[in-house]
Amino acid sequence: MVRPPPRCSSAKRRLLRIYPAYWLVLTVLVIVPGQTGIYGGQSLAHLGLLHTLPAGAGDAGCVNQFFDCGLAQTWSLSVEVTFYALLPLYVLVAARLARGRKVGEWMRAELLLLGGLAAASIAARALGVDVGPRSWAGGTVISFVFWFALGMGLAVASVALDGRERPPAVVRMITRQPGLPWLLALGVYLVLSLRLPSSPFLVDRGDQLVVHLAFGLIAALLMLPAIFGDSSAGLPRRLLRHPLVAWLGLISYGIFLWHYAIALELGSGGDGLGFWPVLAGTLALTIPIAALSYYALERPI
């Protein structure tokens, strides 16, 4: 049975998915005493998710007081919004590449396109283009094409390889040993943890490039067992299929939006709690709030 087309456009769905829940937490942080959602009177910039861009941040923007801002993590939402804005242009180019090609040819052509865009973004970082949070490169998808290209490349490969009688060797390896990519991801993370300072924002440009590449690699490795192979075999897949994990994924946007302000409040001041109490308290408070946000606001909208 063919499903009917969606009743609203992709752009409208993305706007409804991102903005209302964000506006809710922003409003709460403005109203609650002692919490910071908006800096320097940049209300319109914050409401439009432009507060990390040069046109919106201003001299008193949230970025300048990054670690004191209750919504410091929303720099990534600005990146996401610019990605969705540019995605139609990419789709037009990718559709032109796919026209008249066999599946294997289409896959190779689109992977080359994604690889070229990712390489250009990485080269810009390596050559010293300003990728700070207040630059047009650092505040938009331009500086993060590599991460998006990894996810889109995995999506392309999963579609193109679906149903093949003999998939590539790497896919067969993931099917046989689904835990191996997770072990590799853990190894990369441990190497980073031992080699770099505790915050990737405090390292030099060369180390920032290493962190950028490594974070993308870790994310891709974590995704591999979920994308390729038997969906029911192996510990990673059983864990990802667990009802609790699936439910946390369902409300994860609310967790993303609320956790930082709560952790900041629990860990602030001279009498702030230690790491483990802050972690436990953040989880205990964030998950119910995120669930309420999802069921009362996000899902109905």
Note the pLDDT of residue 60. Answer: 45
Cα–Cα distance measured from residue 88 to residue 77, given in angstroms and rounded to the nearest whole number: 18
What digits encode the pLDDT tens for the residues 206-259? 788 889 999 999 999 999 998 987 767 788 888 988 999 999 999 999 999 999
Helices and strands (H and E) in the chain: how many: 13, 0
Instruction: Give the other-Cβ count within 10 Å of 170's Cβ.
Output: 12
Residue with tokens 């432009």: 50
* pLDDT on residue 70: 67
pLDDT top residue among 82 and 70: 82
Q: How far is CA 62 from CA 32, 42, 94, 256, 267, in A?
A: 17, 9, 36, 18, 19
Pick 197 or 295 by higher pLDDT.
295
130: how many CB neighbours lie within 10 A of its CB?
12
Residue 282: pLDDT over 90: yes
Which amino acid makes up residue 103? V
| Residue 270 pLDDT | 57
> Does pLDDT of 25 surpass 90?
yes
**What is the model's pTM?**
0.85
Q: What is the mean pLDDT of residues 185-204?
A: 83
Tokens at residue 222, please? 């974590």
CB contact at 8 A, 293 and 251:
yes
262 vs 208, higher pLDDT: 262
